[in-house]
Structure 1
């Protein structure tokens, strides 16, 4: 059984992408391979086959490996609720909120869960691809580290270091990172991967020769810049657009604690949709549809929107025939009020909602985590439209508006439920369902409701598969094939 850890010189150097690429590459070779990230900090998450919660990137990496996502693949997930605190999720279950200093002390306890999950995965697969977090050179975080070299040394695994040349300074990033590692940590680095290179490789060769001579370590591959590469975002909002025709204009406000904005990937990629993420501090642009997204701090983000005059702007949007869709936290904002008596997301208290739908939400410590499927029940649909997705929320909503649900769902465990609400005039939809636009039939019905007469279909799942195969092809062409085979014991 083999283990390889991918660490980066910086955040967004390409760790998640490289693990996904290697996962698909080795899965093609018939290797039983799985991803693993000891600790992740992200507000984009996914529900696993064992009804837990992990980072969205690890769910995509599992897809790359042709395995079901499991909580052991990301045993520690931190979901920031403020600048200094986060919800701590251990092996798929939220254990509460912690301030940064408190969590720093808790890391020794978290490491036990990390190693336990790693041992279970190790017993089931031929190869474990481990993703680090941020950079191993963050010396202020070295004590009790479980995300980078602390983990690598605990399980005694080799490390490759990936760096992004597109941002410039790639040699300084690599050499500087090595200099800040301890001697034993430097010895653990078996080579480098340079990511996102564009141009003539001959112009880079002298630099690669210098790097290998200076460090005594090989460059295992130079990965090309892949234009129009689509990958589920681990956390940062992608501004990549696809040249939409502008038939339908959709606006999503960027909340301070926006979560699961991968809900909108199908819209961002759709050829007939112009999706725009806008700052809540700017005026609401003219559009057909406003989507209020999920939030890790719903009361705080709702107050932020109201402070920036969004109540009046949404009123005007509706008055002129616009549509509004609220997803998860966005659903809660559309109601009468949000109550948090136990301080689940922030200090105990309440916040008045936008009041478009007659229900009230109470936040509770118990989080709903489930994959679901079912049917949309919109009046505009001549027949039931299949829909599927997942729920991740702490709120329980009750009120008359929910008696006219948007969907009827069945969870993995067979539990049936009605979800969401439709306003009396049909201009407002609300749902707890993430991934609402991912299924083609539901996507088409919702876009028709929003204003497209005959929307074309976008196969998001198929698109993901194409991108993962592109990544695997890139790795196969650019990385040292002998080293890859040695890693997975293929020779």
Structure 2
């Protein structure tokens, strides 16, 4: 099946976390398997889980997965506006892959009127280069209080004249009200952009929803494109939303605990560990105590290193980490987690918030200075302790120095990267995505006392994307969805 050049279709949700990202990935892989040259696009994303692109920028992790589903390298045009929350009311604004400013929520609402231009610019390039662009919305078009200057949902769809399929989530209940209610609050122009709806995440026999489905078609006048049953292997794909962290947990004999920081970032670093049969991965949540039988503690990336140091101490995890260290346990800090392991984090210019310094955990003899320049790089390195090649990416603000950097975690060419304590049990690195590298993951886990099975993580992701595409083809009207693209 072929499609004229430049067609597009947008999936918008009745709310957040209804499964849009996964649906877009599945539909993209299905379209690709039908022979279409297809690309993903999300006008605006809010996430601290970002990917580094080949063109030297950053986009939301979901768009990187969707690019993979399309057989493409991630590009900044796929997600031109990225918001990375740093506080409850402020976020870092990234435009076409580059950090532009730190804005409060009210400031961003005003700034949006100037952001439609880069959104349409990026979309136009993708549309010109591909047979089909599948667009993912953000949040819900029913948030009509945010309609003015909207660039994420109906504002974009109307400006670019892209038809919309509305996605409802039956797993959370009230899916009829989700869809019918959305239609009720949209104005006539926005309502006219809707090409139909589909229902996602059904558990059990979908035929049990036949009457509800028919009612929704009759009540809205919109065609339905099907009911998609729950996809049980979704947890095997990199997740973007912190709400999905629970699905990353696994059972095994080697016990890994990741601290669930309040501003956790790039937590998909954990995904390959969760799929190792011999590894037990647990996300420690606020108020929980670090188990005494933990083998390895991971301090993950954070969008607010100093803020999460305060959060960590409020949970008493600093005391737990010190006890874990005394027991001979191992600790790995990645990016912001690496910065926390040092003596202090200095931010005199207020790059991440109020100017000042915050004491670190003192588990590595290093300190970090926050600087305005962000490092974004795909990085090939060699892990020093195991002499194993490792491929990852860097996405951070801050420079770390001190005596323990004389024992680097890795070498990037001739450049030392990261730090290791004198006894080798506390490690820090700026490299994200390192556990996706099969050779490194196996060598590292063996070094720390686990027994890895040598699984091919990338092959597993590809197989899961193919299975997702087959799932979509089996249960949705894919012919109708592709025909709805304009």
Q: Per the shorter chain, which TM-score range?
A: over 0.9
TM-score when normalising by structure 2: 0.96
Contact 1:266 / 1:458 at 8 angstroms: preserved in 2?
A: no
Distance in 1, Cα, partners of 2:314 & 2:248: 29
Number of the residue aligned with 1:462? 459
Distance in 1, Cα, partners of 2:353 & 2:23: 36
Number of the residue aligned with 1:393? 396
Number of the residue aligned with 2:339? 332
Relative distance call for 1:88 and 1:450 in structure 2 (3 A) is same
Work out which of the residue numbers 82, 102, 109 in structure 2 matches 1:77. 82
Higher mean Cα deviation, 48-57 or 218-227?
218-227
The offset of 1:488, in angstroms, is 6.6
Number of the residue aligned with 1:406? 409
Number of the residue aligned with 2:274? 268
Is 1:229 equivalent to 2:229 in the alignment? no
Distance in 2, Cα, partners of 1:241 & 1:373: 26
Q: Which consecutive segments of 4 or more residues in structure 1 shift more than 3 A?
A: none
Number of the residue aligned with 1:253? 259
Number of the residue aligned with 2:180? 175
Distance in 2, Cα, partners of 1:309 & 1:241: 24
Contact 2:472 / 2:478 at 8 angstroms: preserved in 1?
A: no
What are the equivalent positions in structure 2 for 1:375-394 lying under 5 Å apart? 375-378=382-385, 381=386, 384-394=387-397
Distance in 2, Cα, partners of 1:175 & 1:307: 44
Is 1:344 equivalent to 2:351 in the alignment? yes
The offset of 1:22, in angstroms, is 1.0
The offset of 1:203, in angstroms, is 2.0
- Gaps of at least 5 residues in structure 2 are 1-5
What are the equivalent positions in structure 2 for 1:32-51 lying under 5 Å apart? 32-51=37-56
What are the equivalent positions in structure 2 for 1:33-432 lying under 5 Å apart? 33-230=38-235, 231-236=237-242, 237-240=244-247, 244-245=251-252, 247-286=253-292, 287-378=294-385, 381=386, 384-409=387-412, 417-432=415-430
Distance in 1, Cα, partners of 2:59 & 2:248: 27
What are the equivalent positions in structure 2 for 1:442-457 lying under 5 Å apart? 442-452=440-450, 454-457=451-454
Relative distance call for 1:358 and 1:124 in structure 2 (3 A) is same
- Gaps of at least 5 residues in structure 1 are 411-415
Number of the residue aligned with 1:480? 477
Distance in 2, Cα, partners of 1:243 & 1:94: 35
Distance in 1, Cα, partners of 2:427 & 2:433: 15
What are the Cα deviations for residues 146-166 of structure 1, in whole angstroms up to 9, with x where unaligned? 000000000011000011111
Distance in 1, Cα, partners of 2:266 & 2:448: 21
RMSD: 1.5
Distance in 1, Cα, partners of 2:186 & 2:193: 10
Q: Give 3-state SS (helix, strand or coil) of 2:465's partner.
A: helix
The offset of 1:481, in angstroms, is 4.2
What are the Cα deviations for residues 288-334 of structure 1, in whole angstroms up to 9, with x where unaligned? 11111111110111122123332322111111110000000011011
Distance in 2, Cα, partners of 1:30 & 1:228: 25
Number of the residue aligned with 2:3? none
Distance in 1, Cα, partners of 2:203 & 2:314: 44
Distance in 2, Cα, partners of 1:367 & 1:482: 44
What are the Cα deviations for residues 447-490 of structure 1, in whole angstroms up to 9, with x where unaligned? 123221x321232211211111111111211222431453579x
Contact 1:37 / 1:130 at 8 angstroms: preserved in 2?
A: yes
TM-score when normalising by structure 1: 0.95
What are the Cα deviations for residues 332-389 of structure 1, in whole angstroms up to 9, with x where unaligned? 01111111011111111001111122221111111000001121101xx3xx211111
Contact 1:244 / 1:270 at 8 angstroms: preserved in 2?
A: no
Contact 2:195 / 2:484 at 8 angstroms: preserved in 1?
A: no
Q: Give 3-state SS (helix, strand or coil) of 1:252's partner.
A: strand
What are the Cα deviations for residues 167-218 of structure 1, in whole angstroms up to 9, with x where unaligned? 2111110000111111121121111111112322332212222211111111
Higher mean Cα deviation, 219-228 or 32-41?
219-228
Contact 2:376 / 2:396 at 8 angstroms: preserved in 1?
A: yes
Higher mean Cα deviation, 299-308 or 73-82?
299-308
| Count of residue correspondences | 478
Contact 1:242 / 1:269 at 8 angstroms: preserved in 2?
A: no
Higher mean Cα deviation, 469-478 or 31-40?
469-478
Distance in 2, Cα, partners of 1:53 & 1:431: 19
